[in-house]
Homo-oligomer: A and B are copies of this chain.
Amino acid sequence: MKKLIGNLLYGQSGGPTSVINASAYGVIKESLENQDVIKEVLMMKHGIKGALNEEFILISKQDEENIELLKHSPGSAFGSVRYKMADYKEDDTDYVRLLYIFQEYNIRYFLYNGGNDSMDTCDRISEYMKHVGYEVRVIGVPKTIDNDLPFTDHTPGYGSAAKYIINTIMEISYDMLAYPKGKVTIVEIMGRHAGWLTAASAVATKSGFGPDLIYLPEVPFSVEKFKKDVEKVYSKKSQCLVAVSEGLSNDEGIFLSSSSALKDAFGHFQLGGVSSKLAQIVNNEMRISSRNVELGTTQRSAAHLQSLTDVNEAISVGRTAVKYALKGESGVMVTIERVSTNPYKATCGKQPLNKIANKEKTIPKSMINKDGNFVTDEFIDYVMPLIQGENTPVYYDGVQHFSKMKNGIGSKK
């Protein structure tokens, strides 16, 4: 294979995870170790938009400390974007512009780090460049806390978010026990179509302090069934902890979070998110004191509570993307293949981008209990290896220290 000498362009896209920057770290390290081929590493500022606007963060201008801190920085250190590329056969404006940029900067390696939508972007760019005959190797780097990418055992970002959720819900559970007669506490967890994150909360239960009931988007939600389930737990324990996915929908497929999905006993529509609505139902219809907790943004940004396994895999996936590109691969996304669960062993693999793009992987039936209100041991076995180890945060004077790239996000502050 002839050496394709040139520069590497990397971008982040979609919602951040707490380890997407660890993948960037992997890409940077592997590139710097191959400087005979990869001459400069350019990071798009705010994803593909940054590429189109010629806004780059140059790795050669950065110091070692800020590169190392990528392993401990949440969010997207280079900025992200939500931008859908048109089909180039219908409108090639962006593609023509991108080709010009690629030529101008001698971009021969294009790595894009994101979820389903981003793999679509990646795929379209790969196709176009092949079509016009510009030689560039395009590799997708996976990330998503939702764990919903197909053809990969799991996705970097999921393990850390799961670990944060498990440990936080354990704390909420232990805190609840303070009072002999408790409330019904409903914790709302991210995941619109796939319940992987919500399901993870079951690990807290296994450790003695976790939810009694778990409701996933994979199972059509029935308010009557929910009330019966809660009643059963509450009558025995005088308290009840429930984990719900934000994406719960009824048997007509209507999201509970949409304003028309739920009416209370008086015929009023329930306002707020899923947990707020269910807490109102418990309060108003079951006459049991309730409260709701939305875990919110911190689920994807809790750099202070990362899974070391996840961080290391995120780095590895980044490095592998560069390795594949150097070997001549293009049009593929790096995947994680589980070799064995006990002891846990995984390696990187690859899949064509067009197989991944715009598809979602949900929890298989065998991982959900028959009652549809908890998970099975098969799920626990699946998730446990992904949350192992801690990536001790870097604290200066009691506060975390995040990467501040020259010309990067937050650098003008």
Q: Could you list which residues of chain A lie within 8 angstroms of chain B, going by C-beta atoms?
A: 12, 16, 46, 49, 73-76, 79-82, 163, 166-168, 170-172, 174-180, 203-204, 207-209, 271-272, 293-294, 296-298, 300-305, 307, 384, 387-390, 392-393, 395-402, 404, 409-410, 413
Contacts and interface: CB of A to CB of B under 8 A. Distances in A.
Contacts of A174: 73-75, 301, 303, 402, 410
A360 B223 CA distance: 43
B297 A172 contact: yes
A177 B79 contact: yes
Given A296-B293, A395-B390, A400 B178 contact: no
B178 A76 contact: yes
Contacts of A81: 179-180
Contacts of A296: 293-294
A167 B400 contact: yes
A384 B395 CA distance: 13
Contact of A402 (B170, B293, B302): B170
B303 A171 contact: yes
Given A163-B398, A171-B303, A178 B208 contact: no
A177 B398 contact: no
Contact of A178 (B16, B171, B401, B402): B16
Contacts of A398: 163, 166, 203, 307, 384, 387-390
Contacts of A399: 163, 166-167, 170, 203-204, 207, 387
Given A163-B398, A398-B387, A399-B166, A404 B178 contact: no
Tell me which of A171, A176, A384, A392 has the highest count of chain B C-beta atoms within 10 A of its own C-beta. Answer: A171
Given A294-B294, A410-B208, A410-B209, A175 B300 contact: yes
A43 to B, nearest CB: 13
Contacts of A402: 170, 174, 208-209
Given A76-B178, A175-B16, A179-B81, A397 B384 contact: yes
23 contacts: A46-B180, A76-B177, A79-B177, A79-B179, A80-B178, A81-B179, A82-B179, A163-B398, A167-B399, A167-B400, A170-B399, A171-B297, A171-B400, A174-B402, A177-B409, A177-B410, A203-B398, A208-B402, A208-B410, A293-B297, A304-B304, A387-B399, A390-B395
Contacts of A409: 177-178
